[in-house]
Amino acid sequence: MPDASHSAPRRLDVVIVGGGLAGLYAIHRLRRLGLAVRAYEAGAGIGGTWFWNRYPGARCDVESLEYSYSFDEQLQQDWKWPERYGTQPEILKYINHVADRFDLRRDVQLNTRIKSAIFDAQANEWTVKTGTGEEIRARYCVMAAGNLSTPRVPDFKGLGDFAGRWYHSGLWPHEGVDFSGLKVGVIGTGSSGVQMIPIIARQARHLTVFQRTANFSLPARNMPMPADKERRHKAEYPARRAAAMETPFAIGGHAKPTRSALEVPENERNAAYEDKWQEGGSISYLYAYTDLLVNKASNDTASEFVRNKIRDIVKDRRTAELLAPKDHPIGTKRLCLDTGYYETYNRPNVSLVDVRSDPIDRITPDGLTLKSGAAFELDALVFATGFDAMTGALNEIDVATTDGANLRAHWEGGPLTYLGVMVEGFPNMFVITGPGSPGVKTQMIAAIEQHVDWIAGAIDHLHSHQLDRIEPTAAAERAWVDHVNKVADATLYPLANSWYMGANIPGKPRVFMPYVGGFDRYKKHCDAIAARGYEGFTLSRHETVAA
């Protein structure tokens, strides 16, 4: 790597951290304001999540006709999704196509990790430094660093001594991994584990799954894209996108529920769940009734239906009971979508080990041992153990100001933001789908477009009013955080120990991070705030000092 520490700093209007779906759209949208922009991406390629997560079976859990950019009608008409749900290679191909089509690559710098971002209050500009010492100065800083981009390998003793190969789902080798003939261990049964386990099971000599928490999973019912479905969807694309904006998950095509699960007789309710189970997809299931995410008794009916499905599918009684989640209501952790997940446990070469009752004690040269002393011989070990979600990427960067603010300190008790988009004390820094935003609870690309469009609107407003600084007030930030908590507390979400809560990272503050009041409500609120002249923000003009 060249040492760029002595060259003159590059000057931009907007420095963007991250070259995934959010960073790329930010380049496109902010360029249209005539701004000089550039994105810095740690990976050797663009695509963020879809660049890194190359584990077997990696696939989006939102249907591909929905999970795509909406900003260009011709793009959405031209692109052909071969399957109901996009695979990782297919989505990465799409992202690369978008980058070429809109000439985005000239403003992306790859293999560049941002180490610090310091706001100079006097000069009214951000100075961002890369891992090689390169310096970039810009009026605005857009953090598009991702919510699930800081892979986490638990701090197990002895990992350095393991004689086999080990992998993390989010850092998967580009050349792939051949597990043929190997004794493989997978730790973790979240979305990544649930997607990879059926595929690894077909390759491995033996697969041992180490499960701490059983997760609910529904059949994806993936299939080749039906031509008539694609035709119908594309004929109505703009209207469908607009309709999605009016839903809580920013996903269209599902009839709005009208009744509580408890208003319906049991046989009728189970028939409705059966229809959703056969249809496949998580939104459809959780949208069966109005109150599945707010009323425990209603949720119990939906949870029990899936537990019974697991008991029907998995032949070994003990394994079935271990796989049937009982410690959280369905939907309060990310609901997984699978292809043959539960069926995999009927294979003779697959075994399930409960590491909740008997936790992993240490990794050994030839496998791992549990606290009880039980030992497992393994040739390869896969960590599907998730990410330091939502705050991990920003906490890895030294974000501070010359006025003495420091983001890690500001977020010590849990992340504080206004609208999930800005942070008090950090002027002109925008976060895409950060904590306090509904992003991770929605069709992410819709949320990304909404956030970036809102930010573009705010910058445009500043410029047209001869202003150059925007920052939320402490009161507005406090009120938003309180609102996010209040909304979450009225739901069942806090009942689960999830990454939404920071519960997967030992020592991380337990704060419910996403806004779960619905994308529709959030978007209207953001629009109203802008229409009222950016209520809750201080907008000002600063005499800039030439550097």
Cβ atoms of 217 and 194 within 8 Å: the answer is yes
Minimal CB distance to ligand NA7: which residue? Answer: 190
Q: Which of 23, 45, 47, 190 binds ligand NA7 (CB under 6 A)?
A: 190
* Closest separation in Å from C-beta 36 to ligand NA7: 34
Residues from 291 through 350 that contact ligand NA7 (CB under 6 A): 334
Query: Which three-class secondary structure string do you get for 286-350?
Result: HCCCCCCCCCHHHHHHHHHHHHHHHHHHCCCHHHHHHHCCCCCCCCCCCCEEECCHHHHCCCCCE
Amino acid at 136: I
Phi, psi of 332 (to 5 degrees): -90, -20
Binding mask 364-403 for ligand NA7 (x = CB under 6 A): --------------------xxx-----------------
* Closest separation in Å from C-beta 381 to ligand NA7: 12
**Nearer to ligand NA7 among residue 104 and residue 444 (C-beta):** 444
Q: Does 57 participate in binding ligand NA7 (rule CB under 6 A)?
A: no
Q: Which residues of 28-55 are buried (b: 16+ CB within 10 A; e: fewer)?
A: bbbbeeebebbbbbbbebbbbbbbbbbb
* Closest separation in Å from C-beta 514 to ligand NA7: 11
Cβ atoms of 268 and 259 within 8 Å: the answer is no
Residues from 195 through 234 that contact ligand NA7 (CB under 6 A): 210, 212-213
* Closest separation in Å from C-beta 201 to ligand NA7: 17
Q: Does 500 participate in binding ligand NA7 (rule CB under 6 A)?
A: no
* Closest separation in Å from C-beta 539 to ligand NA7: 35
Residues 6+ apart with CB under 8 A from 51: 20, 43, 45, 92
Rounded to whole angstroms, how far apart are CA atoms 194 and 8?
Answer: 48
Rounded to whole angstroms, how far apart are CA atoms 284 and 83?
Answer: 18
Cβ atoms of 417 and 423 within 8 Å: the answer is yes
Cβ atoms of 73 and 51 within 8 Å: the answer is no
* Closest separation in Å from C-beta 192 to ligand NA7: 3
Helix/strand/coil for 10: strand
**Would you give the end-to-end CA distance of the chain in angstroms?**
27
Cβ atoms of 369 and 208 within 8 Å: the answer is no
Q: Which of 420, 504, 513, 514 binds ligand NA7 (CB under 6 A)?
A: 504
Start-end of H helices in 61-103: 73-78, 88-101
Q: Which of 186, 187, 446, 459 binds ligand NA7 (CB under 6 A)?
A: 187
* Closest separation in Å from C-beta 24 to ligand NA7: 19
* Closest separation in Å from C-beta 60 to ligand NA7: 9
Q: Please identify, among the stretches 171-179, 181-189, 226-234, 458-466, the one whose residues bind ligand NA7 according to the rule CB under 6 A.
A: 181-189
Q: Which of 499, 512, 515, 522 binds ligand NA7 (CB under 6 A)?
A: 499
User: Around Cβ 519, how many Cβ atoms within 10 Å?
Assistant: 26
* CA neighbor of 398 nearest in space, from 37, 141, 47, 19: 141
**Nearer to ligand NA7 among residue 261 and residue 336 (C-beta):** 336
**Nearer to ligand NA7 among residue 286 and residue 423 (C-beta):** 286
517 strand-pairing partners: none
Size, binding site for ligand NA7 by CB under 6 A: 21
* Closest separation in Å from C-beta 92 to ligand NA7: 15
* Closest separation in Å from C-beta 170 to ligand NA7: 7
**Nearer to ligand NA7 among residue 127 and residue 191 (C-beta):** 191
**Nearer to ligand NA7 among residue 188 and residue 415 (C-beta):** 188
Rounded to whole angstroms, how far apart are CA atoms 216 and 210?
Answer: 16
Rounded to whole angstroms, how far apart are CA atoms 124 and 426?
Answer: 11
Q: Does 508 participate in binding ligand NA7 (rule CB under 6 A)?
A: no
Phi, psi of 472 (to 5 degrees): -75, 150
**Nearer to ligand NA7 among residue 407 and residue 496 (C-beta):** 496
Rounded to whole angstroms, how far apart are CA atoms 502 and 413?
Answer: 11
- What element of type H or E holds 480? helix 474-489
How does DSSP assign 209-221, residue by residue? EEESS---EEE--
How does DSSP assign 15-52, residue by residue? EEE--SHHHHHHHHHHHTTT--EEEE-SSSSS-THHHH
Q: Does 501 participate in binding ligand NA7 (rule CB under 6 A)?
A: no
Q: Does 470 participate in binding ligand NA7 (rule CB under 6 A)?
A: no
Q: Which of 23, 45, 193, 252 binds ligand NA7 (CB under 6 A)?
A: 193
**Nearer to ligand NA7 among residue 53 and residue 401 (C-beta):** 53
Residues from 146 through 165 that contact ligand NA7 (CB under 6 A): 148, 154
**Nearer to ligand NA7 among residue 333 and residue 469 (C-beta):** 333
The binding site for ligand NA7 (CB under 6 A) comprises: 148, 154, 169, 187-193, 210, 212-213, 334, 355, 360, 384-386, 499, 504
